[in-house]
Structure 1
């Protein structure tokens, strides 16, 4: 069982990221099944999986929830569950507990939980590899919101060969914090590390890495919980890791700005989506099929995060 220090408990209370969706009965809970016997679980996490009736081996999407949230409920309300049923891909939902963190946040600010093959990071890796084996999925994708977004950043840096692509929503780059003081500063101001330091950290972990997962990054321009500078720093880190040397193509409207970096073959490598006048949460568009529904930290926008992300991955 993972032991939580008094400092970690205090940190969890401060770093709840204000995500307070209620834990209610799931409209689609019956489509998810518990994942058991996935190996070492030092982070004491649990997980559930949706496996489509046909073509289960096409893809596996992993969803990391935000603080206090229930992962299956987030999958339902964001539109991901509906998209998985429509497009027939598997969804793995790791779940944090209140026993591990008083706000049920993934412990993204704890070095023992974010380093490769340690704590929650090892639990996540083992869940994902077990789910990939059971579904036969050829490709694995990772989505994280807020604290889950910060853990997604860490997982993508730690295990770049495990994922085809990732999406970080209202999250933070890795490494950003390994203690309470740094975590608060990073959330409010952006990372203290320079872009060069963020890139160098990843290169030291994987000095021979030639290919990094495609990354989609989402932020609201008025996010008062996780400063938008985090999204910009994460994009800059990933642009350098991916070897992008040209300026991005920019799509801009009164509602949002999307910057896309492509490689020499014209394939998308990094995208930064900045939604004007949106706060902390995930963008949903209830006006489209499986666009999600509005609620606490499910923020109505002209484009929906899950719909756009899944489409960009070609699922």
Structure 2
């Protein structure tokens, strides 16, 4: 039998190596967008943690852009979350930075943030390294420290709420999409009841400085009960002494209809509740054919940025009026 040549063996091994490393290369390949997809590392107590940063093209030297922190849900990573939400396209158009911290599978086999594990301290440790990533981006990429907001989906929404209530001075806005309000669970066991909407949230500390909240949730969500959305908005409202405005029915084209309820203190909007008809456990208006994404819903990414931008403008106006 004729033995294969060295050249044939090398070509075959190269093909096998290429096939074996394809998932890894795909994972690190930048999402298609007009800008830079940059990887960074920060150190946590038990090892390095990875994040990705999207920076729009043509950022001028010394230009300080707003920063939106985006926290993925379970069974997602930074790249898939960016692809699903298409937030980088919004960032390109509106000119802001997007930070995507990434949960290692060693910390949670499903890639979930351990937002619920406050009893052991794991939740606070994860919040701590995310803040290190925020600080690093502010230092290396001149993000504007006065214009930082955080948003997330599912477990990412719950971790975003933990961040905003634990470090309220650092964030000007919070958006929870299909998540559980803070103070609802303290262990993996209690997290199950919280996701099913069977636990009442306990405010995690003083609420005077909590950033304004937007909650987006689908009424057909079978993973995280939509009751959590109302609980989160009500918790923010009660903590601020706000009152509930009448709900407004809205629909854009053929997209799912939604009900928008605002909670106000005087003229200030403390919380906004967006309840989307027929939406399941998915990013509303996200990219088609992406997991945990429903293209038929109203565009959550646009809603997120409009809400966040309003809070940035309100804070700037308030600062200028005090001078």
After TM superposition, the score normalised by the length of structure 1 is 0.79
Contact 1:76 1:82 survives alignment (8 Å): no
Q: Tell me which residue corresponds to 1:13.
A: none
Which of 45, 50, 54 does residue 50 from structure 1 map onto? 54
Could you tell me how far 1:66 is from its partner in structure 2?
0.6
Cross-structure match for 1:147: 155
Q: Is the 8 A contact 1:156 1:166 kept in 2?
A: yes
- Residue 231 of structure 1: aligned partner: 229
- The alignment status of 1:304 with 2:310, answered yes or no, reads no
Q: Alpha carbons of 1:80 and 1:177: their partners in 2 closer, same or farther (altered >3 Å)?
A: same
Partner of 1:251: 248
Shift of 1:151: 0.6
Question: Are the aligned partners of 1:42 and 1:120 in contact in 2 as well (CA < 8 Å)?
Answer: no
| Map of 2:7 onto structure 1 | none
2:265 corresponds in structure 1 to 263
Which of 96, 110, 113 is the aligned partner of 2:117? 110
1:183 matched to 2:185: no
Three-state SS of the structure 1 residue aligned to 2:247 is strand
Distance change (3 Å), C-alpha of 1:43 and 1:259 = farther
Instruction: Give 5+ residue unaligned stretches, structure 1.
Output: 1-21, 204-208, 286-291
Whether the aligned pair in 1 keeps the contact of 2:244 and 2:261 (CA below 8 Å) is no
- Cα distance in 2 for partners of 1:93, 1:108 equals 16
What is aligned with 2:168?
A: 160
Q: For residues 43 and 94 of structure 1, what CA distance do their matches in structure 2 show?
A: 15
In the alignment, the residues of structure 2 paired with residue 70 and residue 260 of structure 1 have an alpha-carbon distance, to the nearest angstrom, of 32
- Whole-angstrom distance in 2 between the partners of 1:100 and 1:40: 12
Deviation at 1:23, TM superposition (A): 5.6
Greater relative contact order, per chain length (Cα 8 Å cut-off, separation 6+): 1
Aligned positions of 1:199-210 closer than 5 A: 199=203, 201-203=204-206, 210=208
Cα drift, residue 95 of structure 1: 0.3
Contact 1:216-1:270 at 8 Å conserved across structures? yes
2:96 is matched with which residue? Answer: 89
Higher strand content, 1 or 2: 2
In structure 2, the CA distance between the partners of 1:86 and 1:307, relative to structure 1 (3 Å rule), is same
Q: Give how far 1:43 is off.
A: 7.1
* d(CA) in 1 for partners of 2:249, 2:75: 34
Q: Tell me the alpha carbon deviations over residues 143-181 of structure 1, each in whole angstroms, 9 at most, x when there is no partner.
A: 110111111111111111110001011100111222222
Q: Is the 1:43–1:113 Cα contact (8 Å) retained in structure 2? A: no
Instruction: Report the 3-state secondary structure (helix = DSSP H, G, I; strand = E; otherwise coil) of the residue aligned with 2:260.
Output: strand
CA drift at 1:42:
4.6
What is the correspondence of 1:9-28 to structure 2 with a 5 Å cutoff? 25-28=29-32
Secondary structure class of the residue paired with 2:164: helix
From 305, 310, 314, the equivalent of 2:309 is 314
Alpha-carbon distance between aligned partners in 2 of 1:238 and 1:249, rounded to the nearest angstrom: 17
Q: CA deviation at 1:279?
A: 0.8
Query: Which residue number corresponds to residue 14 of structure 1?
Result: none
Aligned equivalent of 2:316 = none
The Cα of 1:41 is off from its aligned counterpart by 5.0
Q: Deviations over 1:254-300 (max 9, x none)?
A: 72111112332x33321111101111111016xxxxxx445321012
| More displaced 10-residue stretch of structure 1: 139-148 or 38-47 | 38-47
1:45-72 per-residue CA deviation (whole Å, 9 max, x = no partner) reads 3111122333652310000001121212
The 8 Å contact of residues 66 and 147 in structure 1, kept in 2 or not, is answered as yes
Task: Between 295-304 and 272-281, report the one with greater CA deviation.
Answer: 295-304
For residue 227 of structure 1, report the CA deviation from its aligned partner. Answer: 0.5
Equivalent residue in structure 1 for 2:37, among 17, 32, 41: 32
Paired with 1:272 and 1:66, the residues of 2 have a C-alpha distance of 20
